[in-house]
């Protein structure tokens, strides 16, 4: 064998060489040496091993050379299993190479026949896991629900991994020879594809298969509520409304009772809502169902409803019916924890009464008016209320409001302190006893019994002449004897403490030319020391009297006065009058001078004059007879005035104008004189009355 590293023709000669020098040329031969093809570079894109569930791997030549043929040769038998002709590109043999065998590639130059061999490479067939089936317990479910993915079997020595939508879980579970399962949950709305991959030790992965699971979102969770927060109701009421504080459109909501029965159903509209009223005690819950996807959500919370029973209604009332003036309404028994309210004609009557305990009866007292009486019973704890079935129908006498007034002919005329007050009750009610009330004090001995006509009740109690306001507040208390049926009505009656007659204590007072002034002590000769105040407008002071004074002189014929002859004054709290002759007036020794005291009550127009005569020729003990023996009305007057003396005869009545002029006179000898006034103008006048040898004066107002 010869070779040459030189490209080109090489001549070879064969000589026979003996032991001597005679050599013999046997001949020559020319050998043309060419470069061999480049060593083939094997392409194995699938690697040198494959899983037995595949058919092999691909084998090729990287950058094949044109004019060179390539054969894939199985080394052990030298068998060619594939040929390709180079074209300057990567080339692959047809088909896949399989089996665990050594291979090489021979490259041969098509012209020179020169060849070159690749390195030997080995193709290895790896065993894969056995194939098993993948399944799930449900193919359509609600988001976040648990789904079980199962593999029917496993091989020992093989690892298994769950792939979710192409994303490996990263957890390999070794096979045990038995089935295998995964618990999965997805918070999605849509389909998810699960795949199980088996991986033996040679990393020959095998998909066990895929399975698709469809998830639907569950309804949103809302809070369960009761209307008004109420969870209790009374028997016979409309029950309790339960609902949710929100909802979803087109989602169904089911209300369940304690027996897990659906008692109501509503479709959501995006807002809170209530089911129809429930009327049975128990615990209620609500779930929401999406009928399109079948998903169900339990709503938050549950509510327990309690039905409270009503109080007993079969308790008897007494009396049941009848006329009465004294009728106590009672219940013969009661129920603990119950409050009872008497009702008259549908309206609460009086205060409620709580049961005393131990089923004892109760009384509502004595009603005072006719009507149908029933009783409501209320459970103090639950508030449940009902009416008792029994009732009382009573016809009870009542007292009517009656008008009453002074019995004087002129109802507004006042009384004097020492005069009995007669109260006239108009159209009195038969059998009713009327008792006077004076200034809030019930006069138990001043009573009268109603006859159906007017009745009079006399209050002959002597009053203190120093009454502060000249007013008596009278009332009448009316009652049916022996009952609690009563009524009180009130009215104001005017009582005036008129100015009394005073003694003018001025011994041997002579009116002389030098006469200018003098005094009169009103407190002398046992005359009470009243406090008089100089206040022409009649403000309320002690004893509510103001006193106006004037000093006049009387003409000789007693028919005319000269007013304001002088001034009279009285200091506050004093009892001594001071008088002064006016310097513009002349005096006359034969004329009597008078000081008139006008007592004026602030609440009444009636007034009266008392004359104190200042003259040495007239007795100092002036008439002490009470002025109130006379009755003068009406005052103010319009067309006439009546003067009456119940205790004697009147001899004359004179009327003087504001200037002191006599404008009217009536002479008679009668207990009653009427003087007509139609011809006189409105104004203030002075009445002078002579009766039983005594003189009286009184202010008269003509309207």
Are 408 and 483 in a shared domain? Answer: yes
Between CA 22 and CA 44 the distance in angstroms is: 61
For the four alpha carbons of 252, 253, 259 and 260, in that order, the dihedral sign comes to: positive
Are 410 and 488 in a shared domain? Answer: yes
pLDDT tens digits along 477-487 = 988 887 767 78
pLDDT band, very low/low/confident/very high, at 52 (cuts 50, 70, 90): confident
Domain boundaries, position 340: 317-396
Q: Is residue 543 part of a domain?
A: no
pLDDT tens digits along 187-214 = 888 899 999 999 887 667 889 999 999 9
pTM for the predicted model, two decimal places: 0.42
Q: Is residue 112 part of a domain?
A: yes
Mean pLDDT of 326-334: 83
Between CA 340 and CA 352 the distance in angstroms is: 5
Q: Is residue 565 part of a domain?
A: no
Give the domain-ending residue among 216, 250, 283. 216
pLDDT band, very low/low/confident/very high, at 425 (cuts 50, 70, 90): confident
Residue 229 is classified by DSSP as: G
Rg of the chain over Cα atoms, rounded to whole angstroms, equals: 70
Between CA 261 and CA 295 the distance in angstroms is: 19
Q: What angle do CA 308, 311, 313 make, to 5 degrees?
A: 140
- Residue in the structure block whose two tokens are 């091993």: 49
With 80 as the cut, is the pLDDT of residue 691 above it? yes
Q: How many domains does the chain have?
A: 6
Rank 16-20, 181-185, 363-367 by mean pLDDT and report only the highest.
181-185
To the nearest whole number, what is the mean pLDDT of the chain? 78
Are 271 and 322 in a shared domain? Answer: no
Looking at residue 77, its pLDDT comes to 87
- The more confident residue out of 49 and 351 is 351
Number of other residues whose CB lies within 10 A of the CB of residue 127: 14
Q: Is residue 37 part of a domain?
A: no
Are 410 and 490 in a shared domain? Answer: yes
Give the domain-ending residue among 92, 126, 160. 126
Rank 282-286, 323-327, 539-543 by mean pLDDT and report only the highest.
282-286
CATH number assigned to the domain comprising residue 469: 2.60.40
Between CA 698 and CA 703 the distance in angstroms is: 16
Mean pLDDT of 150-168: 93
Are 435 and 377 in a shared domain? Answer: no
Give the domain-ending residue among 91, 126, 161. 126
pLDDT tens digits along 630-671 = 788 888 888 889 888 888 898 999 988 766 678 889 888 888
Strands (E), 165-205: 167-168, 173-174, 180-184, 190-199
Between CA 598 and CA 342 the distance in angstroms is: 62
Rank 44-53, 55-64, 239-248, 694-703 by mean pLDDT and report only the highest.
239-248
Q: Please choose, from the candidates 194, 67, 216, the residue with its C-alpha nearest in 3D space to the C-alpha of residue 133.
A: 194
Q: Is residue 337 part of a domain?
A: yes
Looking at residue 417, its pLDDT comes to 57
With 80 as the cut, is the pLDDT of residue 101 above it? yes
Burial 2-40 (b: 16+ CB within 10 A, else e): eeeeeeeeeeeeeeeeeeeeeeeeeeeeeeeeeeebeeb
CATH number assigned to the domain comprising residue 254: 2.60.40.2550
Between CA 20 and CA 2 the distance in angstroms is: 26
Q: Is residue 521 part of a domain?
A: no
Looking at residue 690, its pLDDT comes to 87
Are 412 and 484 in a shared domain? Answer: yes
CATH number assigned to the domain comprising residue 385: 2.60.40.10
Are 343 and 283 in a shared domain? Answer: no
Mean pLDDT of 456-468: 68
Strands (E), 399-529: 404-406, 421-425, 433-438, 441-449, 455-459, 471-479, 486-494, 517-521
Are 235 and 212 in a shared domain? Answer: no
Are 265 and 228 in a shared domain? Answer: yes
pLDDT tens digits along 533-591 = 333 333 333 333 334 444 445 444 444 445 545 555 555 445 565 656 555 555 544 44
With 70 as the cut, is the pLDDT of residue 267 above it? yes
CATH number assigned to the domain comprising residue 687: 2.60.40.1930
Looking at residue 74, its pLDDT comes to 92
Between CA 153 and CA 196 the distance in angstroms is: 12
With 60 as the cut, is the pLDDT of residue 470 above it? no
Looking at residue 512, its pLDDT comes to 31
């Amino acid at each position: 064998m010869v070779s040459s590293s030189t490209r080109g023709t090489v001549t070879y000669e064969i000589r026979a060489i003996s032991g001597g020098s005679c050599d013999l040329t046997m001949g020559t031969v020319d050998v043309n040496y060419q470069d061999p093809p480049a060593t083939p570079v094997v392409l194995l894109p699938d690697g040198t091993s494959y899983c037995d569930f595949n058919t092999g791997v691909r084998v090729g030549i990287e950058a094949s050379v044109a004019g060179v043929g390539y054969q894939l040769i199985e080394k052990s038998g030298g068998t060619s299993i594939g040929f390709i002709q180079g074209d300057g590109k990567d080339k692959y043999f047809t088909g896949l190479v399989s089996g665990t065998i050594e291979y090489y590639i021979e490259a041969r130059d098509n012209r020179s026949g020169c060849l070159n061999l690749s390195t030997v490479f080995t193709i290895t067939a790896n065993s894969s896991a056995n194939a098993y089936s993948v399944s799930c317990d449900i193919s359509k479910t609600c988001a976040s629900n648990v789904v079980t993915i199962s593999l029917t079997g496993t091989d020992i020595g093989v690892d298994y991994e769950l792939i979710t939508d192409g994303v490996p879980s990263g957890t390999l579970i070794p096979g045990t020879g038995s089935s295998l399962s995964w618990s999965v949950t997805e918070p999605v709305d849509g389909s998810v594809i699960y795949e199980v991959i088996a991986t033996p030790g040679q990393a020959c992965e095998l998909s066990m298969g895929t399975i698709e699971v469809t998830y639907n979102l569950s309804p949103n969770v809302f809070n369960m509520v009761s209307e008004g927060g109420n969870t209790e109701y009374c028997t016979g009421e409309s029950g309790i409304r339960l609902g949710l504080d929100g909802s979803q459109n087109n989602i169904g909501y089911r209300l369940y009772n304690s027996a897990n029965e659906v008692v109501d159903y509503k479709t959501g509209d995006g807002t809170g809502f209530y089911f129809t009223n429930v009327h049975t005690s128990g615990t209620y819950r609500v779930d929401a169902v999406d009928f399109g996807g079948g998903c169900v959500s339990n709503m938050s919370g549950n509510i327990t409803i309690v039905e409270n029973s009503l109080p007993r209604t079969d308790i008897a009332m007494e009396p049941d019916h009848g006329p009465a003036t004294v009728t106590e309404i009672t219940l013969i028994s009661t129920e603990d924890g119950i409050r009872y309210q008497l009702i008259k004609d549908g309206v609460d009557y009086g205060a409620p009464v709580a049961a005393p305990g131990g089923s004892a009866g109760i009384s509502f007292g004595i009603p005072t008016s006719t009507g149908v009486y029933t009783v409501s019973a209320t459970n103090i704890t639950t508030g449940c209320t009902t009416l008792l079935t029994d009732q009382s129908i009573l016809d009870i006498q009542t007292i009517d409001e009656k008008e009453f007034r002074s019995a004087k002919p002129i109802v507004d005329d006042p009384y004097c302190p020492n005069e009995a007050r007669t109260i006239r009750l108009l159209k009195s009610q038969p059998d009713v006893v009327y008792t006077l009330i004076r200034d809030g004090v019930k006069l138990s001995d001043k009573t009268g019994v109603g006859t159906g006509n007017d009745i009079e009740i006399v209050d002959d109690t002597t009053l203190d002449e120093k009454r502060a306001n000249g007013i008596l507040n009278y009332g009448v208390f009316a009652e049916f004897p022996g009952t609690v049926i009563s009524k009180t009505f009130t009215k104001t009656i005017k009582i005036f403490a008129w100015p009394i007659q005073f003694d003018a204590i001025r011994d041997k007072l002579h009116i002389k030319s030098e006469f200018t002034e003098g005094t009169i002590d009103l407190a002398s000769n046992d005359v009470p020391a009243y406090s008089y105040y100089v206040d022409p407008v009649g403000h309320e002071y002690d004893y509510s009297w103001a006193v106006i004074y004037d000093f006049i002189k009387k003409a000789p014929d007693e028919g005319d006065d000269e007013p304001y002859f002088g001034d009279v004054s009285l200091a506050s709290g004093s009892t001594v009058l001071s008088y002064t002759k006016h310097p513009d007036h002349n005096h006359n020794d034969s004329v009597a001078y008078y000081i008139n005291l006008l007592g004026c009550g602030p609440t009444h127009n009636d007034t009266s004059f008392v004359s104190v005569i200042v003259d040495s020729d007239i007795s100092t003990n002036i008439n002490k007879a009470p002025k109130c023996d006379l009755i003068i009305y009406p005052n103010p007057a319009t067309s006439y005035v009546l003067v009456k003396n119940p205790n004697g005869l009147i001899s004359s009545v004179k009327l003087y104008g504001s200037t002191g002029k006599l404008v009217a006179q009536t002479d008679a000898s009668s207990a009653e004189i009427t003087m007509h006034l139609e011809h006189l103008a409105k104004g203030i006048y002075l009445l002078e009355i002579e009766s039983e040898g005594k003189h009286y004066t009184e202010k008269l107002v003509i309207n």
